Amino acid sequence: MSQTLLEALQEVSGVPGLSAAVWQDGAVVWTGAAGRQDVEGGVPVTRDTRFRLASVSKLLTVTAVARLAEEGRIDLDAPIASILPWLDNDWPPISARQLAAHTSGLPHYQEIDADRGKVHYPDGKTAVEVFAGRPLLSAPGDRYSYSAWGYTLLGAMVEEVTGEPFTAYLAREIAPGLDLGPDATDSGDPHVSIAYEFLEGSARRAAPHDYSYTWGGGGMMGTAESLVRFGGAMMDHRVVTKATFDDMLRPAFLSSGEVAGEDGYSVGFGWRSAKGGDGSPIVFHNGVTIGARSSLVLWHEEKTAAAILSNASWTSSIDATSQMLAAPFRSEPEGLVAAACPIGAASFEGTLAGEQVSGWARFRVMDGLCQGEIELAGSLHAYFDRGPQPTAPTIRVVGLDPAGGLSRAGMVTPFGLYELRASEDGTYTSRWSVQRVLELRFIDGGDRE
């Protein structure tokens, strides 16, 4: 099922190449690949294809800092200037904990940083000099404001304490034996995907970009399988202790007493916590950068991890997509309503966030699964015609019932995968966000005049 979903997603989204994996109870239970890592050369994505991790790199960084704190080498609540004596500016005291939770007040990339990928920085200290003189956006602890520059500082702290390059420490202590390391796009490595950008609806090769300004903020790369193995190692407490990981997952608080975070998630020591699509608690991080969209999701209580990596920046609900790819390996949620595959359907009608939607539909049982297509027209088309990627003519539906029914399915859209569930009244519901809910009814061809 997961491979069927991934292949359908690659076709519908137009993203050149995708790879995904699921880890459960100590082992990788599935690795999938779809599309091409090199479109021009016709090279397919394989389980060994490496992609940019983008901001998922931040999870490696906070783990490195937490590991050093566990060893008594970093005080997470002390001013970072106590570790970086060369940091010469008028900032008020900022802690590593505030950097990790994006509550330090540091800005994110600004217009002045437009050419940041054209320079190579030999170490974290040199990279920090790029922004070390800039004013803070707010007093440390006052508000949540996402900043990748904060992770450049965390990487510099790792180098200062260990006396070795940040990427070397990660390879030796945080991800030993895993295919996770610094970005090597355009290096000629046959296992590294080319990075693509969507321009006028077409995927085109992106210009080279040097991530040495923030290896820890968004410059790592790896395979989907290695990424879920890292997630599994965290849940198995093989990188840091259980007490340390639990502390990393606790929400950070602002000076006002409010929890740090946005868009329905809270932020702890780098990790985001939220309720998944089925209501289960998840911890996760997503990423986007030139030539990449990424996500790692953990169901901590279930000892399950899922990851997806891609070789283009595209508009997507990427963590929802990771969750759906793991659905076939997780327990069925309670309350599912039995529903047969609507193989007689000729059309659909319904609402999207209160607006009427309709179009043609067709279903069949293929490879033991109920699979279908619905027309992407009207309000549906308008909703998805906002991303840089091409807008497909249809949405795909892949049933998750191994008996061929449609009680629950993966809805494959240009923006990623969403869950579709049957209701007692014969309608189907897919929740894309708090504000945007799709409700459908499939109409049998024999019922139409």
For 339-352, what is each residue's pLDDT tens digit? 999 999 999 999 99
Query: Which residues make Cβ contacts (< 8 Å) with residue 107, sequence separation at least 6?
Result: 131, 134, 136, 137, 145, 147, 149
Percent of the chain with pLDDT over 70: 99
| C-alpha Rg value of the chain to the nearest Å | 23
pLDDT averaged over every residue in the chain: 95
pLDDT at 368: 93
pLDDT of 200 over the 90 cut:
no
pLDDT at 205: 97
pLDDT at 11: 96
CA dihedral 98, 102, 106, 108 (to 10 degrees): 160
DSSP-based three-state secondary structure for 342: coil
Residue 260 CA to residue 255 CA, distance in Å, equals 10
Stretch 39-46: mean pLDDT: 97
Stretch 405-433: mean pLDDT: 95
Stretch 72-83: mean pLDDT: 97
pLDDT of 448 over the 80 cut:
no
pLDDT at 293: 97
CA distances from 350 to 128, 372, 379, 416, 427 (A): 53, 17, 11, 20, 9
Residue 107 CA to residue 95 CA, distance in Å, equals 15
Residue 13 CA to residue 391 CA, distance in Å, equals 7
Lowest mean pLDDT among 1-5, 24-28, 166-170, 433-437: 433-437
Residue 354 CA to residue 343 CA, distance in Å, equals 27
128 backbone dihedrals φ, ψ, rounded to 5°: -60, -30
Query: Which residue from 236, 42, 86, 74 is spatially nearest to 154, judged by alpha carbons?
Result: 74
Stretch 152-174: mean pLDDT: 98
Q: Where are the alpha helices (DSSP H) in 111-175?
A: 124-128, 149-162, 166-169
H or E element at residue 54: none
Per CATH, domain 2-329 is 3.30.1360.200: no
Stretch 303-330: mean pLDDT: 96
pLDDT at 33: 98
Which is it for the CA torsion 64, 70, 71, 72, positive or negative? positive
Residue 287 CA to residue 216 CA, distance in Å, equals 12
Question: Token pair 């050093």 is at which residue?
Answer: 68
Stretch 256-269: mean pLDDT: 96
pLDDT at 314: 94
pLDDT at 116: 93
pLDDT of 204 over the 80 cut:
yes
User: Which stretches of 53-112 are assigned E, i.e. beta strand?
Assistant: none
pLDDT at 449: 36
Stretch 286-311: mean pLDDT: 97
pLDDT at 447: 47
Stretch 183-187: mean pLDDT: 96
Query: Which residues make Cβ contacts (< 8 Å) with residue 93, sequence separation at least 6?
Result: 79, 81, 140
Question: Token pair 């702890």 is at which residue?
Answer: 268
Percent of the chain with pLDDT over 90: 93
Residue 357 CA to residue 366 CA, distance in Å, equals 27
Which residues in the chain are classed under CATH 3.40.710.10? 2-329
Residue 133 CA to residue 164 CA, distance in Å, equals 25
pLDDT of 284 over the 60 cut:
yes
Q: How many CB atoms within 10 Å of residue 392? A: 18
Predicted TM-score (pTM) of this structure: 0.96
Stretch 220-232: mean pLDDT: 98
Stretch 411-438: mean pLDDT: 93
Q: What is the DSSP letter of 392?
A: P
CA dihedral 125, 131, 135, 136 (to 10 degrees): -80
Banded model confidence at residue 446, pLDDT cuts 50, 70, 90: low
Q: Count Cβ atoms within 10 A of the Cβ of residue 296 and give its class: 0-12 exposed, 13-18 middle, 19 or more buried.
A: buried
CB 438 within 8 A of CB 357: yes
CB 295 within 8 A of CB 285: yes
List the end-to-end C-alpha distance of the chain, in Å, as a whole number: 36
